[in-house]
Amino acid sequence: MATDKQEDNVQTNEATQQERALKQAERAIDAAYATGRADRATITRMAQLDAAEAVALAGVAMEADEEADEAAKLAVITEGMGDPKKTKAARAKERAARKRAKAEHRAATRSAKRAYDAIKFSAPNKLGFMRVVQVIFALHIAFIIVGLIQTSRDVVTYNHTNLLDWLMIILEGLAFWFFLNRYKIARPFVIVMASIGIAVPMIYDLITGVFSPFVVVANSLFYIFLILYFSLSRRVKAVLVNDISRHKGFYDDENFVINRKGWPFIRNLIMYFIIFSVLGHWMEAGMCQFIRLGLVEGEYDPTNTMLWRDWLYPFPMEGAAVVFIALFLYPFKQWLVRKIPNRILPYVISFVANALTCSIIEFTMGLLINADLQLWDYSENFGNIMGQVCLQNALAFGVAASLIAWFLYPMLERWIARIPNDIMNIAFVVVAIFGGILWSLYIIDPPQVETGVSQSSVPEEEMRLGQLKNNIDSLEENVNRLTGADKEEMEAHVKEMREYLQQRMDEEGIKELPSYEDLVAADVTEMFGGEGVSRSAA
């Protein structure tokens, strides 16, 4: 009997906790609606489901209590009849009913607590400590980007630390976006991200033989905290309730029309600019290979580190050209097809317009940034104008622009239209941060200190010859990758350049050239006689 009383007390306490949790949930609902703010008064779908489940389980628990009471009455009656076997069986049924009722009460209490948590944390502007994590992620992204802006591409080392930093800020940007949209996937995503931040340096230290548990733990404290917080926090579980939508919107393959309004259109243009700025670099490198093989006319500089060493160096003009095609040349082609019944003529006019437009853009950019013909020089090519444009390139640009306007751009838009909008927004975050890394490292020049005195202690002629040596070293690295007769010819060219360098050193009485680090730290403006030199001319 003492055991039965203890069970009754435990059951009463659980019923009290359940009732208290339900009342707290009701008060939270009333308080939310009393604010008069639609965004705060709206209870999440998960909260509604949990509340409904809590009410249903509470009813089941009450029914189980009634069944247990009936079993207890039958046990008392059976015990009064003096039949030991029936009394034992009745008591067993009573204990089973009490056990079942106890389990139902616990389930109802858990559900009521979940409903209360979901309601309590449903305000969209109350992310709790996750807001602090968001700020930390944003500051870390800004710190890395600003650091890259302040650093010359010539001194950046592509070691595991920098590559991991760049990967982490992409992942942190994704986590920031997930928090903003309350995506359920944010919780496991942050745990995996933090695990990567711990595991990669640890594996590298093990491989290099410098592993120290104390150092690993000290450097991973923030990631360890993230794993614990996102694994255990009630707020995280209650707030991150939204699923990534797989809704693709209306798409009709036969009557497909590119949507040229709103955020999706702007988002796609930004992605095209970033991606095709890099692809344009590779296209330029391919054109240089055609020149090297003698298939097309022109000259190229095998010592250009921007082109041959930094394969992710963005060429903004190519990215801007694709955006221009999407904004103007593709609609112009569509207009021609609608207005001119002839099947061929619209495409002929479109091709001419594409070639002229690209040539005008190149000519304008040439006058702005290539007035001295240092970046490109078509003076020896047939049909050139001031060395900035030529007939060969105009035709090549016309072909490339036409392929993009007629086939590639509409095909990409069709593919993107099949992808859910939420997925495309996630892809945009990745591309945008990746583009930010590239532009900060390669395009944006670090600020120069403008003073009347050179910031370098290295003599001017030594700096000139040191830069020549670096160019020769870069050329030699590229030559070592060649095969066949071209390699022998280029090796002879490298040898001549080294002989010339040694001759100049002897004439100037220079025994040792400045180190690579000294050259990078030197004042570039002073080195070139007060004329600014952009990285693109490196």
For the segment 362-374, what is each residue's pLDDT rounded down to a tens digit? 899 889 888 888 7
pLDDT of residue 365: 85
* Domain co-membership, 405 together with 282: yes
The larger pLDDT score, comparing residue 37 to residue 171, is at 171
pLDDT tens, position by position, 397-437: 999 999 999 999 999 999 999 899 999 999 999 999 999 99
User: Would you say residue 428 lies in a domain?
Assistant: no
* Domain co-membership, 295 together with 404: yes
| Single residue among 55, 90, 120 that ends a domain in this structure | 120
**Residue 212, CA distances (Å) to 162, 189, 195, 201, 225 in order:** 20, 27, 17, 11, 20
* Spatial CB neighbours of 157, under 8 Å, sequence gap ≥ 6: none
The larger pLDDT score, comparing residue 252 to residue 397, is at 397
Asked if pLDDT for residue 396 goes beyond 80, the answer is yes
* Domain co-membership, 66 together with 181: no
* Domain co-membership, 269 together with 396: yes
Average pLDDT over residues 229-242: 85
* Domain co-membership, 101 together with 154: no
pLDDT tens, position by position, 271-323: 999 999 999 999 888 888 888 888 877 777 777 778 888 888 999 888 999 99
Asked if pLDDT for residue 347 goes beyond 80, the answer is yes
Phi, psi angles (nearest 5°) of residue 265: -65, -45
pLDDT of residue 198: 95
Q: In the structure, what pLDDT confidence band is assigned to residue 536 with cuts at 50, 70 and 90? A: very low
User: Would you say residue 445 lies in a domain?
Assistant: no
The larger pLDDT score, comparing residue 50 to residue 203, is at 203
pLDDT of residue 226: 96
pLDDT tens, position by position, 99-121: 887 887 788 777 777 666 666 66
Kindly report the pTM of this predicted structure: 0.67
* Domain co-membership, 270 together with 401: yes
| Single residue among 224, 239, 254 that ends a domain in this structure | 239
Asked if pLDDT for residue 185 goes beyond 60, the answer is yes
User: Would you say residue 30 lies in a domain?
Assistant: yes
**Whole-number percent of the chain with pLDDT over 70:** 78
- Structural domain harbouring 336: 263-419
Q: Which of 203-212, 233-242, 247-256, 406-415 has the lowest mean pLDDT?
A: 247-256
Average pLDDT over residues 474-483: 74
The larger pLDDT score, comparing residue 165 to residue 462, is at 165
| Single residue among 67, 97, 120 that ends a domain in this structure | 120
CA 304, CA 275: separation in Å to the nearest integer?
A: 22
Asked if pLDDT for residue 532 goes beyond 60, the answer is no
* Domain co-membership, 310 together with 399: yes
* Spatial CB neighbours of 358, under 8 Å, sequence gap ≥ 6: 321, 394, 397, 398, 400, 401
pLDDT of residue 524: 38
* Domain co-membership, 115 together with 37: yes
Asked if pLDDT for residue 39 goes beyond 80, the answer is no
User: Would you say residue 448 lies in a domain?
Assistant: no
pLDDT of residue 429: 97
pLDDT of residue 310: 85
User: Would you say residue 443 lies in a domain?
Assistant: no
* Average model confidence (pLDDT) across the chain: 79
* Domain co-membership, 299 together with 411: yes
pLDDT of residue 446: 52
Q: In the structure, what pLDDT confidence band is assigned to residue 527 with cuts at 50, 70 and 90? A: very low
Chain length of the chain: 538
* Domain co-membership, 116 together with 139: no
* Domain co-membership, 73 together with 163: no
* Domain co-membership, 105 together with 134: no
Which pairs with CB-CB distance under 8 Å and at least 24 residues apart come from 391-399?
Answer: 392/296, 392/297, 392/298, 393/359, 393/362, 394/355, 394/356, 394/358, 394/359, 395/355, 396/287, 397/354, 397/355, 397/358, 397/359, 397/362, 398/351, 398/352, 398/354, 398/355, 398/358, 399/351
pLDDT tens, position by position, 44-59: 555 666 667 777 777 7
User: Would you say residue 510 lies in a domain?
Assistant: yes
The larger pLDDT score, comparing residue 503 to residue 80, is at 503
Phi, psi angles (nearest 5°) of residue 296: -135, 160
Residue 271 corresponds to which tokens in the numbers above? 């992605």
User: Would you say residue 309 lies in a domain?
Assistant: yes
pLDDT of residue 279: 94
Q: Which of 50-59, 66-75, 142-151, 373-382 has the lowest mean pLDDT?
A: 50-59
Average pLDDT over residues 160-166: 90
pLDDT of residue 120: 62
Average pLDDT over residues 59-81: 77
Query: How many domains is the chain partitioned into structurally?
Result: 4
User: Would you say residue 433 lies in a domain?
Assistant: no
